[in-house]
A and B are shown apart, each in its own frame.
Chain A
Amino acid sequence: MELKQFKTVVLPLRDRLIGYALKLTGNEDDAEDVVQEVMLKLWNIREKLNEYRSVESLAVTMTHNLSMDVWRRRRPSMALNGITVREHSDTPEQILEGLDEMQLMHAIIASLPPLQQTIIRMKDIEEYETEEIAEITGCKPEAIRSNLSRARRKVRDIYLKSIQERNRRN
Chain B
Amino acid sequence: MKPEELLNKYFDGETTCEEERELRHFFAQEKIPPGLMIYRPLFAYIENEATLHKEAPNKKKQKRSFVRDITYTLGGVAATLLLVFAIAGINRHFYRADINEVWIDGVRYTEQTIVHQQATSAFEDVSFSREDIFNVLFED
Q: How far is the CA of A160 from the CA of B53 in the complex (A)?
A: 26
Chain B residues whose CB sits within 8 angstroms of the CB of A163 once the complex forms:
38
The answer to whether A124 and B20 have CB atoms under 8 Å apart is: yes
B86 at the interface (CB under 8 A from A): no
Interface size on A, residues (CB 8 A): 27
Chain A residues whose CB sits within 8 angstroms of the CB of B13 once the complex forms:
130, 144-149, 152
The answer to whether B14 and A106 have CB atoms under 8 Å apart is: no
Q: Indicate which residue in B11, B45, B49 contacts A153 across the interface (CB closer than 8 Å).
A: B11
Return the chain A residue nearest B51 by Cβ.
A125
Chain A residues whose CB sits within 8 angstroms of the CB of B12 once the complex forms:
145, 149
Chain B residues whose CB sits within 8 angstroms of the CB of A155 once the complex forms:
42
Q: How far is the CA of A145 from the CA of B41 in the complex (A)?
A: 23
B48 at the interface (CB under 8 A from A): yes
A104 at the interface (CB under 8 A from B): yes
B16 at the interface (CB under 8 A from A): yes
* With A105-B45, A106-B45: A127-B38 Cβ-Cβ less than 8 Å: no
Chain A residues whose CB sits within 8 angstroms of the CB of B39 once the complex forms:
156
- Overall SS of chain B's interface: helix
* With A152-B13, A156-B11: A125-B42 Cβ-Cβ less than 8 Å: no
> Is the interface on chain B under 10, 10 to 19, 20 to 34, or 35 or more residues?
10 to 19
Chain B residues whose CB sits within 8 angstroms of the CB of A43 once the complex forms:
none
A102 at the interface (CB under 8 A from B): yes
Chain B residues whose CB sits within 8 angstroms of the CB of A129 once the complex forms:
16-17
Chain A residues whose CB sits within 8 angstroms of the CB of B20 once the complex forms:
123-124, 127
B50 at the interface (CB under 8 A from A): yes
Chain A residues whose CB sits within 8 angstroms of the CB of B46 once the complex forms:
124-125
B10 at the interface (CB under 8 A from A): yes
Return the chain B residue nearest A142 by Cβ.
B13
The answer to whether B42 and A156 have CB atoms under 8 Å apart is: yes
Q: How far is the CA of A129 from the CA of B15 in the complex (A)?
A: 9
- Min CB distance, A155 to chain B, in Å? 7
B44 at the interface (CB under 8 A from A): yes
Chain A residues whose CB sits within 8 angstroms of the CB of B41 once the complex forms:
101-102, 104-105, 159
- Min CB distance, A51 to chain B, in Å? 19
13 contacts between A and B (CB under 8 A): A102-B41, A109-B45, A123-B20, A124-B46, A127-B17, A127-B20, A129-B16, A130-B13, A147-B13, A149-B11, A149-B14, A152-B13, A156-B11
8 tightest A-B contacts by CB? Answer: A149-B13, A148-B13, A105-B45, A145-B13, A101-B41, A125-B49, A127-B17, A124-B46
Interface residues in chain A, defined as those with a beta carbon under 8 Å from any beta carbon in chain B: 101-102, 104-106, 109, 123-130, 144-149, 152-153, 155-156, 159-160, 163
Identify 12 new A-B residue pairs, CB closer than 8 A, beyond the known A124-B46, A152-B10: A102-B44, A105-B41, A123-B17, A125-B46, A126-B50, A128-B17, A130-B13, A145-B12, A145-B13, A145-B14, A156-B11, A163-B38
